[in-house]
């Protein structure tokens, strides 16, 4: 059997660029070279697309060729440009599948998924609609709330809008509605802190979510699968010593978090673990997810579960939660990547 040609897109122009590169480095270490021929497509911080040898730390400085993903379905892959040829010659590379290793804006919000739909290439992960829904926390809350799944109380601030600080039940969390890795998130304990927190969130998105603080344990569930056939990793517990979880903004996350300990399997009763898995799957299906996602939830003292957020392309770094939860369930990174690619090919009607 010939190797499948896999295009792996990483990097990006927004704040989660460094996390994406680290995720891609783990993919490079674990992708089965006997099954897959990898084509590494790095997007620089300035937005240049480059065909490179891999996601090593110096990938932006190494040898590369300009490349674009063709929206022409007859090409079904890449156009590799001849940078020195003024005649505009190019080489085509047909891809069997694409693995987007992109986080946050233009990676998880349906943008790259839309381009892949135009190209006709099967791709790993959620489709355009579910990616957009999950990326916008206010939309995700609205949809799952209609499905009968508890969410925090929240207020939405559009561009130029505000909320009366005296009506909020402090503490609240102020977040960009469409961002990830806790960028722009603030915990607000009084009305005097609200304006600054909203301004911070607006640095990342002009739509802001003000969310009532939930007194609970932070629990995560890694999901892999399509439709009715879903596999879950072991549930994890993010035990915080103070503040809130923001490991991707720390100086040396590979050596451990400044304020969080990760317990896998979660140190909660077996029945609570099963409830988290069941509710996470309900969230996954309500939002139309496919391929993979990490569903983060709050487990309250009375045993009820409340949605926190959904990450449709969760971090795959050496310190990330998703691969750790899968590994605890006996699914290695290599096996996870193989299953994710297989799911993408099965789901594709092309």
- Residues 57-76 as b/e (b if ≥16 CB within 10 A, e otherwise) read eebbeeebeebebbeeeebb
pLDDT digits (tens, 9 = 90+) for 86-115: 557 889 999 999 999 999 889 999 999 999
pLDDT digits (tens, 9 = 90+) for 192-221: 999 999 999 999 999 999 999 999 999 999
Mean pLDDT throughout 321-343? 98
- pLDDT for residue 350: 44
- pLDDT for residue 179: 84
Q: Please classify residue 216 by burial: count the beta carbons closer than 10 Å to its beta carbon, then call 0-12 exposed, 13-18 middle and 19+ buried.
A: middle
Q: Are 134 and 294 in contact (CB under 8 A)?
A: no
- pLDDT for residue 60: 86
CATH superfamily of 154-212: ATP-grasp fold, A domain (3.30.1490.20)
The DSSP secondary-structure symbol of 190 reads: S
CATH class of 4-123: alpha beta
Mean pLDDT throughout 132-138? 95
* pLDDT beyond 90 at 54: yes
How far is 244 from 284, CA to CA, in rounded Å?
24
Domain covering 133-151+216-347 in this structure, CATH number: 3.30.470.20
Q: In the chain, which segments carry CATH 3.40.50.20?
A: 4-123
More confident residue, 181 or 193: 193
Q: What is the mean pLDDT of the chain?
A: 91
Residue 260: strand, helix, or coil: strand
Name the token pair of 139.
Answer: 């939309």
Q: How confident is residue 222, by pLDDT bands cut at 50, 70 and 90?
A: very high
Cα–Cα separations (whole angstroms), residue 243 to 60, 94, 202, 299: 35, 47, 21, 18
Tell me the pTM.
0.92
> Residue 347: which residues within 8 A CB-CB, separation 6 or more?
122, 226, 290, 291
Least confident of 13-17, 47-51, 220-224, 265-269: 13-17
How far is 251 from 152, CA to CA, in rounded Å?
30
Q: In the chain, which segments carry CATH 3.30.470.20?
A: 133-151+216-347
Mean pLDDT throughout 182-195? 92
- pLDDT for residue 85: 57
pLDDT digits (tens, 9 = 90+) for 23-41: 999 999 999 999 999 999 9
Least confident of 55-64, 182-191, 310-319: 55-64
* pLDDT beyond 60 at 349: no
* pLDDT beyond 70 at 7: yes
Query: Which residues carry out catalysis?
Result: 19, 22, 103, 248, 254, 294, 315, 319
Give 78's strand partners: 69, 93
- pLDDT for residue 254: 63
* pLDDT beyond 70 at 171: yes
Q: Are 220 and 295 in contact (CB under 8 A)?
A: yes
Half-sphere exposure of residue 251: CA atoms within 13 angstroms, side-chain side: 1
- Residues 132-150 as b/e (b if ≥16 CB within 10 A, e otherwise) read bbbbbbbbbbebbeeeebb
pLDDT digits (tens, 9 = 90+) for 241-290: 666 655 555 566 665 656 678 999 999 999 999 999 999 999 999 999 99
Half-sphere exposure of residue 238: CA atoms within 13 angstroms, side-chain side: 24
Q: What is the 3-state secondary structure (H, E, C) of 33-92?
A: CCCEEEEEEEECCCCCEEEECCCCCCCCCCCCEEEEECCCCCCCEEEEECCCCCCCCEEE
């Amino acid at each position: 059997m010939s190797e499948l040609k896999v295009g792996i897109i990483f990097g990006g122009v927004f704040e989660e660029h460094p996390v994406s590169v680290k995720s891609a480095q783990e993919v490079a270490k674990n992708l089965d070279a006997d099954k897959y021929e990898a084509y590494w497509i790095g997007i620089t911080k300035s937005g240049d697309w480059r065909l490179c040898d891999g996601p090593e730390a110096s990938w932006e400085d190494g040898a590369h060729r300009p490349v674009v993903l063709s929206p022409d379905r007859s090409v079904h892959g890449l156009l590799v440009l001849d940078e020195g040829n003024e005649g505009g010659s190019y080489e085509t590379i047909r891809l069997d599948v694409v693995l987007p290793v992109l986080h946050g804006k233009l990676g998880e919000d349906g943008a790259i998924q839309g381009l892949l739909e135009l190209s006709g290439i099967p791709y790993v992960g959620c489709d355009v609609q579910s990616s957009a829904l999950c990326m916008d926390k206010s939309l995700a809350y609205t949809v799952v709330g209609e499905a009968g799944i508890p969410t925090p109380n929240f207020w939405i601030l559009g561009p130029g809008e505000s909320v009366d600080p005296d009506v909020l039940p402090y503490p609240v969390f102020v977040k960009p509605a469409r961002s990830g890795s806790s960028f722009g998130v603030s915990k607000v304990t009084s009305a005097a802190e609200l304006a600054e927190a909203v301004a911070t969130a607006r640095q990342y998105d002009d739509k802001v979510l003000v969310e009532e603080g939930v007194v609970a344990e932070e629990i995560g569930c890694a999901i892999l699968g399509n439709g009715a056939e879903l596999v879950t990793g072991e549930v994890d517990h993010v035990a915080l010593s103070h503040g809130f979880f923001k490991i991707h903004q720390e100086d040396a996350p590979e050596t451990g978090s400044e304020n969080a300990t990760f317990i896998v399997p979660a140190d909660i009763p077996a029945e609570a673990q099963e409830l988290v898995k069941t509710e996470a799957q309900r969230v996954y299906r309500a939002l139309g997810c496919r391929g993979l996602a990490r569903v983060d939830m709050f487990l309250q003292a009375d045993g009820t579960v409340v949605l926190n957020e959904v990450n449709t392309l969760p971090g795959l770094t050496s310190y990330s939660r998703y691969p750790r939860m899968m590994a605890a369930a006996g699914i290695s990174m290599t096996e996870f990547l193989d299953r994710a690619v297989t799911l993408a090919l099965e789901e594709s009607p092309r």
